[in-house]
């Protein structure tokens, strides 16, 4: 009994001291918060390559010093000539990772500790997939499965009936009866011409008809129905309004979605960007009294910021509540879409694809994001090939073709104006959009 009490006491003291020291040591929980608050998850997952590499195991691939330099300012680090950093950057097609100089080296150590100790995923869904957390609506794939099952069922029936016929014939041969060769349940249903055909040819024939009809239908279904979630507008954890910020306050989209011109993904801003204004703006101008808006208080809580001392103290400590924005737009993993290609090179306005975001109180998915949608635009959108170096070769070829009177119809729209489309630049090639 006494021995047990002793053990208990030792354990209690050990836990206490561990907690005291934990403040200085890298702390995974702290790291998880920072990882989420800085939206690392919008480009990284622990176990899957997203925009950037899968992060699990990075502690073994790189030294701590290297990682701190990289995460805090990969741009400067690359410029300093570090070979590994430059190699990595090239490897990822020069997709730029953000600079996180707001993070102290200690904070980066917390994040690294989190990456090191995060539990392995359950069923391939990483614990950091918060941004992707919103599962897709039912995408009709159940119907697909059902039809496949029906198809298999029909084939089985067909085979069974053939087997039955063969058995019957064998039985008939043994007993000396002569069976009508046109017998059989299915054959009886077929028109005269077909039922006279050789059974093997007939089987192959039917098989191909089913295959062609099935795959045409499946293809159509695939490009128009699967994954449709147009109009999806989930409630977000902070009542952040694009109508107010992008519409009335006229903040540039790129101020927050910093990746949009330079990388594949537009990125969701980290709360630090909000703090550029919301350190000062603590409530709506129309709100009565001088209490802090509960919505803005959520930002403070997530960042462990104390508005009283205007400092990132541990105001909320373990009660700090990280923000998990619900991801709205989400292409399937096998499709590749790149923002910089469309916004910077293609010079498309965000609204072409996202609709009037600056009027939306709550963002909703405006376009279907279906393959048919991408393809339609690639067939019809005009690109300004004359004033864009990226298209120099294409433009030269078009000018030459027109001069030589070759392929003229290719370059004209029905109304007679000249048009160069992404389709002419390979915009319909499977490999451009599929990994």
Window 286-315: residues binding ligand HEC (CB under 6 A) = 286, 293, 295-296, 299
Asked if 424 touches ligand HEC (CB under 6 A), the answer is no
* Secondary structure class of 320 (helix, strand, coil): coil
Residues 7-46, interacting with ligand HEC (CB under 6 A): 38-40, 42-44
Asked if 346 touches ligand HEC (CB under 6 A), the answer is yes
Cβ neighbour number for residue 222 with a 10 Å cutoff: 15
Nearer to ligand HEC, 173 or 361 (CB): 361
- Give the shortest CB-407-to-ligand HEC separation in angstroms: 18
- Give the shortest CB-85-to-ligand HEC separation in angstroms: 8
Contact 401, 395 (CB under 8 A): no
Nearer to ligand HEC, 62 or 162 (CB): 62
Nearer to ligand HEC, 105 or 183 (CB): 105
Which one of residues 210, 345, 394, 402 is an interface residue with ligand HEC (CB under 6 A)? 345
- Give the shortest CB-313-to-ligand HEC separation in angstroms: 21
Asked if 77 touches ligand HEC (CB under 6 A), the answer is no
Which one of residues 354, 385, 419, 424 is an interface residue with ligand HEC (CB under 6 A)? 354
Asked if 126 touches ligand HEC (CB under 6 A), the answer is no
How many Å apart are CA 405 and CA 412, to the nearest integer? 12
How many Å apart are CA 292 and CA 401, to the nearest integer? 66
Residues 229-268, interacting with ligand HEC (CB under 6 A): 236, 238-240, 242, 244-246, 249, 251, 253, 255-257, 259-260, 263, 265-268
395-406 exposure pattern, b = at least 16 Cβ within 10 A, e = fewer: bebbeeeeeeee
Name the residue among 435, 298, 433 with its Cα closest to residue 378: 433
Burial class of residue 308, CB neighbours in 10 A (0-12, 13-18, 19+): exposed
How many Å apart are CA 60 and CA 58, to the nearest integer? 5
* Secondary structure class of 412 (helix, strand, coil): strand
Contact 327, 136 (CB under 8 A): no
Cβ neighbour number for residue 54 with a 10 Å cutoff: 14
Residues 317-336, interacting with ligand HEC (CB under 6 A): 325, 327-332, 335
How many Å apart are CA 175 and CA 332, to the nearest integer? 62
- Give the shortest CB-267-to-ligand HEC separation in angstroms: 5
Asked if 385 touches ligand HEC (CB under 6 A), the answer is no
How many Å apart are CA 283 and CA 288, to the nearest integer? 9
Residues 150-169, interacting with ligand HEC (CB under 6 A): none
Residues 266-285, interacting with ligand HEC (CB under 6 A): 266-269, 273-274, 276-278, 281, 283-285
Nearer to ligand HEC, 205 or 219 (CB): 219
How many Å apart are CA 399 and CA 380, to the nearest integer? 19
Residues 87-106, interacting with ligand HEC (CB under 6 A): 88-89, 92, 95-98, 100
């Amino acid at each position: 009994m006494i021995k047990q009490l002793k053990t208990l006491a030792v354990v209690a003291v050990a836990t206490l001291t561990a907690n005291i020291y934990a403040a200085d040591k890298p702390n995974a929980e702290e790291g998880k918060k920072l990882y989420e608050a800085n939206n690392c998850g919008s480009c990284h997952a622990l176990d899957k390559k997203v925009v950037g590499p899968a992060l699990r195991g990075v502690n073994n691939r790189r030294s701590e010093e290297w990682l701190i330099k990289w995460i805090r300012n990969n741009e400067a680090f690359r410029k300093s000539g570090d070979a590994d950093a430059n190699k990595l950057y090239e490897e990822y097609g020069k997709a730029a990772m953000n600079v996180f100089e707001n993070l102290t080296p200690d904070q980066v150590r917390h994040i690294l500790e989190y990456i090191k100790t995060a539990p392995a995923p359950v069923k391939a869904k990483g614990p950091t997939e918060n941004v992707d957390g919103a599962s897709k609506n039912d995408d009709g794939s159940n119907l697909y499965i059902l039809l496949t099952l029906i198809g298999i069922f029909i084939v089985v029936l067909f085979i069974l009936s053939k087997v039955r016929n063969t058995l019957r014939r064998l039985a008939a041969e043994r007993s000396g009866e002569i069976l009508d060769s046109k017998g059989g349940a299915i054959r009886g249903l077929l028109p005269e011409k077909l039922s006279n055909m050789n059974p093997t040819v007939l089987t192959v024939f039917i098989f191909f008809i089913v295959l062609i009809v099935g795959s045409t239908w499946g293809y159509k279904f695939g490009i128009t129905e699967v994954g449709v979630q147009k109009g999806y507008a989930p409630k977000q954890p902070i009542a952040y309004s694009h109508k107010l910020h992008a519409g009335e306050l006229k903040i540039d989209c790129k101020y927050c979605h910093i990746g949009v011109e330079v990388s594949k993904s537009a990125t969701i801003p980290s709360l630090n960007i909000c703090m550029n204004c919301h350190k000062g703006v603590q409530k709506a101008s129309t709100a009565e009294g001088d209490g802090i808006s509960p919505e803005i208080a959520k930002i403070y809580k997530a960042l462990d910021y104390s508005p009283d001392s205007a400092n990132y103290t541990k105001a909320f400590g373990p009660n700090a509540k990280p923000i998990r924005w619900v991801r709205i737009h989400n292409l399937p993993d096998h499709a590749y879409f790149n923002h910089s290609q469309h916004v910077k090179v293609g010079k498309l306005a965000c609204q072409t694809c996202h609709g009037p975001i600056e009027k939306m109180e709550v963002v909703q998915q405006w376009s279907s994001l279906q393959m048919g949608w991408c393809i339609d635009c690639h067939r019809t959108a005009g690109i300004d090939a004359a004033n864009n170096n990226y298209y120099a070769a294409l433009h030269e070829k078009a000018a030459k073709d027109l001069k030589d009177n070759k392929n003229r119809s290719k370059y004209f729209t029905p109304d007679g104006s000249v048009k160069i489309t992404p389709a002419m630049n390979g915009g319909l090639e499977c490999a451009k959009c599929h990994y």
